[in-house]
């Protein structure tokens, strides 16, 4: 039988991973519910679709590995690399969405798009802080 451990949540990196997962799920819900895209470019639209999905998927996998393996957060180089690369994707996505919808006519779609962009930028800050704690722990 698998032992479940949630002691990792008490550590800063574990707590930040849970916050990042919650923000990624909210972003994914906003993006899927309102059909938010970015700009006229197909590449920009793909980034906006892929980033929240990949963030939620990978953070779920990392948190699941903490729970099942009893591993402590911040102990691997892959977490640090993931945090830095994902922070770059999130700031790009947030900027693209905000830039695309800043002059959009007022309504629920515009409000949700600006919320998505703002949350993605906030998620960037959480991931950078998490990367700092992960680097400090190494």
Query: Would you kindly state where each structural domain of the chain is located, as residue ranges?
Result: 10-137
User: Which range has highest mean pLDDT (23-32, 39-48, 116-125)?
Assistant: 116-125
| Residues 138, 122: Cα–Cα separation, whole Å | 25
pLDDT more than 90, % of the chain: 36
**Domain 10-137, what fold?**
1.20.120
Q: What is the pTM of this model?
A: 0.86
H/E element, 115: helix 108-137
Average pLDDT, the chain: 85
**Tens digit of pLDDT for each residue in 44-60?**
788 888 899 999 999 99
């Amino acid at each position: 039988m698998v032992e479940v451990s949630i002691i990792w949540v008490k550590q800063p990196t574990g707590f930040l991973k849970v916050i990042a997962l919650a923000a990624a799920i909210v972003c994914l819900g906003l993006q899927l519910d309102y059909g938010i895209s970015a700009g006229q470019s197909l590449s920009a639209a793909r980034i906006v679709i892929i980033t929240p999905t990949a963030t939620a998927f990978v953070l779920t996998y990392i948190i699941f590995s903490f729970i099942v393996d009893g591993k402590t957060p911040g102990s691997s180089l892959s977490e640090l690399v993931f945090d830095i690369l994902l922070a770059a994707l999130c700031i790009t996505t947030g900027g693209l969405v905000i830039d695309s919808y800043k002059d959009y006519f007022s309504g629920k779609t515009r409000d949700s798009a600006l919320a998505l962009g703002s949350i993605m930028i906030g998620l960037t800050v959480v991931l950078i802080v998490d990367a700092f704690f992960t680097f400090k722990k190494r």
